[in-house]
Structure formats: C-alpha cells, structure tokens
Structure 1
Amino acid sequence: MHSWSEPQRPRHAVGPVHPRFPDIRRIAVLRGGGLGDLMFAVPAMHALAAAYPEASLTLLGTQMHARLYSERPGPVHRVEVLPACRGVQEGPEDPEAVARFHARMRDESFDLAVQLHGGGRYSNPFLLQLGARHTVGTGTPDAARLERMVDYRYYQHEVLRSLEVVGLAGATTPEVGPAVAVTAADRAASAAVAGPPAKGRPRLAIHPGATDPRRRWPVERFAAVAARAADAGYEVLVIGDASEAGLGEAVLEEAGPPRPGRGSIRSLAGQLDLGALAGLLESCDVMLGNDSGPRHLAQAVGTSTAGIYWVGNAIMAAPLGRASHRVQMGWTTRCPVCGTDLTQVGWTAPRCEHDDFSLTEAVEPDEVFRDVEDLTARSPRLRGR
C-alpha cells in the first residue's frame, strides 16, 4: 500500500505529489474525446514519460489520436482505439466489443492505468476493467473508487486537472502547455495544399468552427477580421474539416475580395488531414479561432493564437500564458431563449436545448484584430529569428 500521509509538494507541481509506484513497465492512459481533449492531456503524458522513463505508454483514445501519433515523436508509444461505450466513446455501444477490448487490454498486464477522462462516473469502471496493478484518476462522489484519486470539480483548467492526476503517481513537469512535434511529412503535406508562406508576408489561419455551435463566434465577425487582415497584406487561410467547408465558404463570401495588390483569402476547409493541419499551423504567424481543437493544436506546435472563448470555457481551456496568446471572452451566463443559468454545467445541471445563439457574439472584431496585429509583430519568422 502507498500512503497518502506523506505527499511531497515540489514548487512546480499543481497539487500534492505522491510516491512513485515501483516496477512500472506498462502504462495505460484513458483519454477519449476530440483533438482539444487530447491536447489537455499531453503535458500529463510527458510528465508520466519523465517519471517512468523505462515504461511504455499506451493511449486509450480515438482514431484521430491514432492518426496524430502515427510515426510522431512524443510520449505515446501506441494508441489503442476505444470501442463505443457510454460516457467514454461516442457511438452505438456493442457490449461484446467492449468486453473483447477489455479482455485484450487485460492481456497487456498494465502496471499503471491513468484516468484523464472526465469525472469518473463511466470512465472509472471502464478503467478498472483493465486490471492494472495501480490506478489513479479523478472522481465525482458517485464514481467508482480508484487506488489514488482527486475530487473532480468541473471548473478547473483541464491541463492542470490532468497534471494533478499524474501527481498522484509521482509525475511532475514544469511544462504546463501542450507540445506536439511537427514532422517533415507534416510540412510537406501542408506545402502540397497551401504552398509555402510568402517571404515577408504574414500568414494568418482562421478556424470559424467548434463542436458546440454556441462556442462559435459569428461568421460575419470572423469575416470582418479576415477582410481587414487581407487588406493589411496578410495571407489569410480559413481552415476546418470537411464538415466545416460551408463555414469556410461563408467566411470568404462575407469577407469579399481584398483590395487589389494587397493580401489574399483562401479556404482550405476539408483539404487538410491532421498531419497537414499541424504543418500548416506551424507555418502561420498567428492562428485565430474559437475554443476548438485546431486552436489547441496551433498552441501545441508553437504558433501564437488569438482565441475567442465563452467565459466558462476560458476557465477550463484557455491558454495560461499571454506572451504568445490572446483571449477575448463572451460573458453571457444565461440562455437568451429560456433563461437557463449556463454556468451550471457538467455534472451539476442538464444543458438546455437551445444552441442557435453565440455565447461570444459581443466580442468586437476591432479588439480581435488588434490581438492579431500585436501577435504578428512578435512573430519570429517575420523578425528574421
């Protein structure tokens, strides 16, 4: 047994740091969800890799996560794709497929299983089925108990939450931002679609999408920034997946053509795979977006970002630093249709049914463009560094 009575408190740790477990050779990390969800877990996985350098780390994640970490340096040795399972992975659940997955994972004989996926109501029982020697994670009051746990409180920054969890296993890191290596293949894939950035001309990526439509800044406001940037000489690239191609075209249509002899606006939405997206974001001087996966990936590859957040999401997901990142916030706290208190989320209240409004509509394009200009002025590429 490992005592909870003597946790250490290194200055760079988020919370108490408990003794490391002995003889750890195989680690499983449970983190489903989207691209942004994965980025929140990256610093914690780096911490685990540093704490247990002889161990292999298996990410229990999604097909997207598997594509990202295919032949990419980092803390993840391999990805096992989760089966559809309530509260863990979306999709119609097949109990037999879940049972086969657990049986196969038990054969791996994991020494440590780490739950970085929500409050534990569904993810803790799922994790326990792996049969690992040791388990750590978060838990709401109704969650199954793990060997070492920290209480799940909804309003906590997701990166810091994950770092607090791995501190239960004795893992710490001074790095609190996600970091993803960009490969030569990523850069080549990006150049094949977008071409190289023009010398001396700033390159701005804009992502107008978000999984939750309420987190989307209105298209016409993105278009206003795109038009101003193009008229100021920027190369503006609107990005998104195939489902967001219509949003990309809407931004172009609303922005209109830039003044002759100035910059340009193109939409690449639906044209970039995940590797090409990483390469493209690295090539940009600034990325502008909602609280969404591409903004988190841009930060992870080292690109400055101008983010537009609802205040509740900013608490949990906005970048922690401001040297290379800017955050504009929408402060709406009640649904304009039914008056529901939108701050009561997560485990504490059901979501109202209305999603045809923007929580960030009040953010002004002038303020956002000033952020873009300020970050552009600091661009190492444009300053010749």
Structure 2
Amino acid sequence: MSAEPRAPGVVDPATIGPGDVLVLRALGLGDALTGVAPLRGVRRLFPERRLVLAAPAGVGEWLAGLGVVDGVLPASGLGPLPRMPGGHAAVNLHGRGPLSHEVLLATGPERLVAFGTAGHDGPAWRADEHEVHRWCRLVRAAGGPCGPEDLLLREHVPAPAGAPVVLHPGAASASRRWPAARWRAVAEALAADGHRIVVTGSPAEAELAAAVADGLDAAENRCGALSLAELAETVGGAAAVLSTDTGVAHVATALAVRSVVLFGPTPPAWWGPAVDPQLHTVLWHGDPAAGAWGDPHADVLDERLGAVTPGEVLAAARAQLSQVRPAPAPAPAHDAALPGRP
C-alpha cells in the first residue's frame, strides 16, 4: 500500500536525522510570526541543515512557502512528536521547559538549544521580556545572530491608491475582544471619511464581523472567506490594519503595514510591534510598573482594553492614514512602442 500523500512542505518524520534541525513552536499565528526572527537565527546557526518547524500545519506550510523554514512537522501544543531516527539538532522556541524540553528530547536529538531548567544548561528565562527579544536572546546565546529586524517578511511598501482599511474585530478570548459596537462606530466614521473597510475574522467570528459590517456600504465582510495566504495578501495591500492584540496584528508588523493595535491584559512591552514604531500605534491603559496585569485567556473583557474608547482608536487610525503616500501609478507605455512610430 502506498503512503498517504503529504501536503507541500510537510516533512516525513522518518527522514529527520543528523542533517536536520527540528524547531518546536507549536502555537498560533502570532506566535509563529514573533518566531520568525529567532528562526532566522537558527538558520544562521545551522546553515547546512534542513530547518524543520514543528507547528500547526497551516502556519508551518505558509512559512515554508515563504522560505523561512524548509518544511513543517505538523504539531499542536505539547503533544508527543512522531518517532524519528534521531541525531538531529533540536531547538525549543515553544516554552521555558521542562515539558517542552521533554517533547524534544523524546525525539533523540544530539543537541538541544533551550532555556535552562533542572537537568539542562541554558540561558535563564525572564518573564518580563518581549516575546521577540526573548527567543532571539536564546538563539544568540547558542551562536545564531538575530534580532527584531529579522521578523520582517518584507520592507514597507506604500499602499496603492484607494487601499482599504482592514478591521479585524476578533480575538481568541473575550478578554482581548473589544466590543463590536465600538468597532462599528470606528468603521462608520472611517467610511464617512471616504475609506473602504475590509472586515476579517475566522469562521467562528462570523456574528462579530456581521455586527461590524452589515448594512455599511463601504464595508466588505471577508470573515471566514480567506486562507492564511489570502489574509496575508489582504493585509499586505491595506492602507492600515486595526485590531486588538491578536495574530493579524503580527501579520501587519511582519509585512510593515501601518497598524493600530489595542492592548488589554498583556502589555505591549511584551507583545507589541518590535520594529518600525513609526508604522504602528499601540493603545493601552495599563500601568507599566504594575508587574501583573490581566488574564489573556479570560472569558470577560479586560478592564484595560475596556478603557480604550472609539475616539482614541479613530484618532490613531486617522493619524496613521494621514501618513499614507499611495504607490506611484505605473509609467505609461513608451512612445516607441506605439504602432505607426518609426
């Protein structure tokens, strides 16, 4: 019986061995994109090895298609990885350990790059560190140069004339979900300014997206209609992106697209845009000195996010949009190409 066909970019675990480096970051879209910079450091640390990312198939295949990694081993969370020959290098970009260390050690690596825990020497974990800086620090300590600038998937590209504003009202948990009525108020005001609005979201967020877009002539509801690659293309062609602290915000950062990001239970010092501060506005009503904030997975709106007003978001969006300089139109055909000319 022939083996089941594998999706492009998906790696057969039976082929992972001494010529490979296996990186664990089996998390969501935002985590994947904040992991791009350290992944590039891993590439520099092991330049001759195939770079395999253990991650959810969709985001892993997308990163493989972009050349950030060479292949993906489908994985989610801290579930056990498939059996493999061993002898590869392993890099833990998933967690502080020890459980995530154990997942990788069970695959038989000849070397493990990871934060220090009982039984493993490595750099100390710091809780109060930006997500991008944290993992770059780990990889640099192992000998792989990298920094926040490595998270970019492209340089800033001027938005085309008439580019829409992408509005992404959803988030995985209620604590990071700004009220739909407030998003609607922002969308109506931007539409009155003459902007087109594209509303995005997952299929599970259809009701939320409808509350923002329905009946608004300038709004196009694309919730649940976009693949990851199509979402990235939509964000990449936007004049600006408005969202809370969720994966789409990290897509905007990676593609150097202007954004306004609303924060609540998690401070932007940990998860905000790590590059291009002139392109990204963060809104947060937390106390940076508090040391402890809300629960990003709670099922009620975080009070810090709830304190953000539609007026603030609209003002920030207008400020970013005022900086948009449309890409120049293509040059007309040269006269020599016209028929009848010598």
Fold in common (TM above 0.5): yes
Deviation at 1:144, TM superposition (A): 4.7
Matched, 1:300 2:254: yes
In 1, Cα distance between the equivalents of 2:264 and 2:196? 28
2:202 to 220, 223, 241: 241
2:193 to 199, 214, 232: 232
**Cα displacement string for residues 273-300 of structure 1 (whole angstroms, at most 9, x for unaligned residues):** 1110011110101001011111101211
Could you say if the C-alpha distance between residues 108 and 133 of structure 1 is closer, same or farther in structure 2, counting changes exceeding 3 Å?
closer
Deviation at 1:311, TM superposition (A): 5.8
In 1, Cα distance between the equivalents of 2:223 and 2:124? 40
Deviation at 1:205, TM superposition (A): 0.3
After the TM superposition, which segments of 4 or more aligned residues of structure 1 sit over 4 Å from their partners? 351-354, 382-385
State the secondary structure of the residue aligned to 2:262.
strand
1:55 to 35, 42, 49: 49
Gaps of 5+ in 1: 1-23, 90-97, 183-196, 259-263, 334-340, 346-350
Could you say if the C-alpha distance between residues 56 and 315 of structure 1 is closer, same or farther in structure 2, counting changes exceeding 3 Å?
same
**Cα displacement string for residues 161-204 of structure 1 (whole angstroms, at most 9, x for unaligned residues):** 1101101220112443523369xxxxxxxxxxxxxx9x632410
Deviation at 1:323, TM superposition (A): 0.9
Residues 69, 76 of structure 1: 8 Å contact kept? yes
Please list, as runs of the form range in 1=range in 2, the aligned pairs for 1:152-167 lying within 5 A after superposition.
152-167=125-140
Please list, as runs of the form range in 1=range in 2, the aligned pairs for 1:1-385 lying within 5 A after superposition.
25-70=19-64, 72-82=65-75, 88-89=78-79, 98=80, 101-104=81-84, 107-110=85-88, 112-139=89-116, 143-146=117-120, 148-176=121-149, 178-180=151-153, 200-253=161-214, 257=216, 264-310=218-264, 312-320=266-274, 321-331=276-286, 343=292, 355-359=299-303, 360-381=305-326
Could you say if the C-alpha distance between residues 379 and 357 of structure 1 is closer, same or farther in structure 2, counting changes exceeding 3 Å?
same
In 2, Cα distance between the equivalents of 1:327 and 1:344? 17
Deviation at 1:108, TM superposition (A): 4.8
Structure 1 counterpart of 2:32, one-letter code: L
Aligned to 1:10: none
Residues 116, 138 of structure 1: 8 Å contact kept? no
Aligned to 1:3: none
TM-score of the superposed pair, with normalisation by structure 2:
0.81
Percent of pairs with identical residues: 26
Residues 40, 150 of structure 2: 8 Å contact kept? no
In 1, Cα distance between the equivalents of 2:27 and 2:297? 21
TM-score of the superposed pair, with normalisation by structure 1:
0.72
In 1, Cα distance between the equivalents of 2:173 and 2:54? 24
